[in-house]
Amino acid sequence: MSSFLEHVPVLLDEILINLKKFKITNGVIIDATFGLGGYSNAILENTNCDVYGFDRDPEVLKYAHKLKEKYKKRFKFFQKKFSEIDDLLSNYNFSKKKIKGMIFDLGVSNLQLTKKNRGFSFKLDGPLDMRMSKEGIKAFDVINNYSAEKLSNIFYKFGDEFFSRRIARDIVKFREISPITSTTELADIIRKAIPGKKKKIDKATKSFQAIRMFINDEISELNKGLITSEKFLTYGGILCVVSFHSNEDRIVKNFLNVCQGKPKLFISKFLPLRENLKESFEIITKKPIIPTTDEIKINYKARSAKLRIAKRTKVSPLFNGEVAA
C-alpha cells in the first residue's frame, strides 16, 4: 500500500485473494466506494486491471487526483452515487474493456469520520450535518424538525435501536428549550435516554448510524448499486460487498439468494415470483467472510464487517427494480 494513502480498507486481503483466485487480471474493476482510494490503489498495484472509482463525496477528489497522476489511463474517477452508476456506464465508451469486478464498501469513510465539521462522529464536537455529498437535508433539520414518531421510526428502522421511542421523546423535549446544534450535544441526549450502565459500544452509535443512513438514502442506493452490478458485470466477473449493518447485509444476502435461484426466501414487487429462476450469480461465500482478530486489533472499525462475494454467470439480469430488505 502506497504511503500517500492514509487508510487500509477493511478485508482488503480477502478481496485481493479472490480477484486472484478467479483470475481477474485485466478488464475494468468498479470501486463503487472510492473513499481514500485504498481498494483502488491495491487493485492497480496487484492486477493489470483498469479501475473506475465512484464516490459522491467531493472531498475525495484530491485522493483520486493522486491515483490519476500515478496510474494515468488505468484509473478514472467519477463523482457519482450508486444510483448514477447505471446511466454513466450505459453511456460510457469502454473501448471494448469488460467489467470484471465491482466492489462496495458500505462503511463510513475515515475522511468523513475524522473531520468534525462533517458531523458524522459523536466523538468530535461538530455541526449536525452527516451529508456524504454535502448536498440536501442535514442532520440538524431532521433532529430539530421531525416529529417524535418519525424520529423513532428512523432510529428503529435504520439503527435497530430498541430504545428508539425514548430517544425520540427526549430529543423533542430538549429541542423545545433550544435547537440541538452539535454532535456531542445530540450524543449526550441519546446516552442519557438509554437506561443502564456505560456499554462497550457507545450508546449513541446506533442512532447516529440511523440518522446518517436516512439522510443519505443509503438503503435505496444500495438496492440500485446491486442491480447495477448484475446488469454490467461480465461473465465470470465478481461482486464484493463489505457491509457493517444487519439491514445492509440482509439486503445483499437476499439479493444474491434470489440471483442464485431461491425465490421463496423473499419477493420484490418488481420481481414476480417464479418457481424456476435461473442463476445470474453464483454465491462464492456461503457464509460471509469476517475480519480476523488481528485485523480488528489494527482497525477496530472492522469488527462488524461482513464480506459477501458472488460470481456473475451467463444468465440475463433478473432485476429491474428494488431489492427487498
On whether the CB atoms of residues 302 and 291 are closer than 8 A, the answer is: yes
Take residue 96 and report the three cell numbers written for it.
471494448
Q: Which of 256, 249, 262, 245 is nearest to 208 (CA)?
A: 245
Instruction: Encode pLDDT of 29-73 as tens digits.
Output: 999 999 999 999 999 999 999 999 999 999 999 999 999 999 999
Q: Which of 275, 279, 269 is nearest to 324 (CA)?
A: 269
Q: Report the C-alpha gap between 7 and 36 in whole angstroms.
A: 7
Q: Which of 165, 253, 234, 160 is nearest to 201 (CA)?
A: 160
On whether the CB atoms of residues 30 and 54 are closer than 8 A, the answer is: yes
Instruction: Encode pLDDT of 296-319 as tens digits.
Output: 988 888 899 999 999 999 998 887
Q: Report the C-alpha gap between 324 and 285 in whole angstroms.
A: 20
Could you tell me the domains of the chain?
Answer: 12-111+218-312 (3.40.50.150), 134-215 (1.10.150.170)
Q: Which of 32, 22, 86, 50 is nearest to 232 (CA)?
A: 86
Half-sphere exposure of 95 (CA within 13 A, CB side): 5
Q: Report the C-alpha gap between 67 and 213 in whole angstroms.
A: 28
On whether the CB atoms of residues 285 and 309 are closer than 8 A, the answer is: yes
Q: Where are the alpha helices (DSSP H) in the chain?
A: 12-21, 38-46, 61-71, 82-91, 110-113, 139-145, 148-159, 164-175, 183-193, 205-215, 218-232, 246-259, 293-298
User: To 10 degrees, what angle do helices 218-232 and 205-215 make?
Assistant: 60
> Taking the model in full, what pTM does it have?
0.91
On whether the CB atoms of residues 3 and 31 are closer than 8 A, the answer is: no
Q: Which of 79, 36, 84 is nearest to 58 (CA)?
A: 79
DSSP 61-120: HHHHHHHHHHHGGGEEEE---HHHHHHHHHHS--TT--EEEEEEE-SPPHHHHT-GGG--
Give pLDDT tens digits along the chain (325 positions). Answer: 444 445 678 999 999 999 999 999 899 999 999 999 999 999 999 999 999 999 999 999 999 999 999 999 999 999 999 999 999 998 876 555 799 999 999 988 888 888 999 999 999 999 999 999 999 999 999 999 999 999 999 999 999 999 999 999 999 999 999 999 999 999 999 999 999 988 788 999 999 999 999 999 999 999 999 999 999 999 999 999 999 988 899 999 999 998 988 755 444 544 555 555 679 999 999 999 999 999 998 888 889 999 999 999 999 888 765 554 4
User: To 10 degrees, what angle do helices 246-259 and 218-232 make?
Assistant: 30
Sign of CA dihedral 199, 203, 208, 209: positive
Q: Report the C-alpha gap between 233 and 247 in whole angstroms.
A: 24
CA distances from 247 to 94, 159, 162, 297, 324 (A): 34, 9, 15, 25, 10
